[in-house]
Amino acid sequence: MGQLVHTLAEGPPVSGVTLLAGEIYLLRPKGGCDQVEVYDVVTYRLQRRLTVPNARVFSDMTSCEHNRCVYIGDHIGECVHRLGVQGAVTRWTVNDKPVGLSVNAAHNVLVTCRFVRKVNVFSTHGDLLRELMVPSDVNPWHAIQTRSGQLIVCHGWVGDPVHRVCMMSDDGRRIVHSHGGQRGSDTGQYDVPLHLVVDDNECVFVADRYNRRVTLLSPTLEYVRQVVSRDQLKWLPVRLCLDTERRVLYVAENEAKDGECTVGRVVVFSV
């Protein structure tokens, strides 16, 4: 089980967390300005706040050390905002509603569009490189690609019969391996698997929202163990970020009341 290292301050709900150039980037849906908070990765002290111009509704955030930038999904604006480490802000159109973002080993951006069952691959400047359609019973929240090129997605909402993590074929149309099934709380079940990260060994961490835990799976999606239990979280886990060098897992969690997220924070675990 992961050991608690630190807890960042509570505030507005968290829409994303990522790492770039030795700093933690935390995304909050504040109106108008200062949506991104930047913390030192060692001291956890707040360094500065950044504004995303013309932002609508945030969905996720990821980063790329190679391109020295942070990417932010805008669900209503149907675009991705690109924040350079030097402060330059641009954006490019997705033409669908992005719900999840990740970066692969080729430094391209995977944009998950749940409502059309697509995973689109873009260059760092927004050139569409590839479009993958997933099966009709998979409405993905998030997609990641391992170093060996395997595409892994998670899917399942409250009313859906199946809640799984799936490894897809190269064209995205077939499920090669999966973990999960009927919605539930047993070891082999999920209750809205919402977000994924992968380590250098291609093991997969899964944020299991309503079971309030983080599960670790093998490279072929076999159950390994619970990394974070519900007793270690105060609210619902919604986003993950893994520091593979330090073996530190950042878990963004939000409190939900009457279907609305009201407050959030990031909890740091040694894994």
Per-residue pLDDT of the chain (271 residues; tens, 9 = 90+): 889 999 999 999 999 999 999 999 999 987 778 899 999 999 999 999 999 988 889 999 999 999 999 999 999 999 999 999 877 899 999 999 999 999 999 999 999 999 999 999 999 999 999 999 999 999 999 999 999 899 999 999 998 999 999 999 988 889 999 999 999 999 999 999 999 999 999 999 999 999 999 999 999 999 999 999 999 999 999 999 999 999 999 999 999 888 788 899 999 999 9
Backbone torsions φ then ψ of 116, nearest 5 degrees: -115, 10
User: Model-level pTM?
Assistant: 0.96
Residue 234: Cβ within 10 Å count = 14
Q: Max alpha carbon distance in the chain (Å)? A: 46
What tokens were used for 215? 């599960």
3-state DSSP assignment of residue 231: helix
Instruction: Name which of 178, 37, 65, 59 is nearest 111 in CA terms.
Output: 59
How far apart CA 40 and CA 215 sit, in angstroms, is 27
DSSP, res 150 = -
Full set of structural domains in the chain with CATH: 14-248 (2.130.10.10)
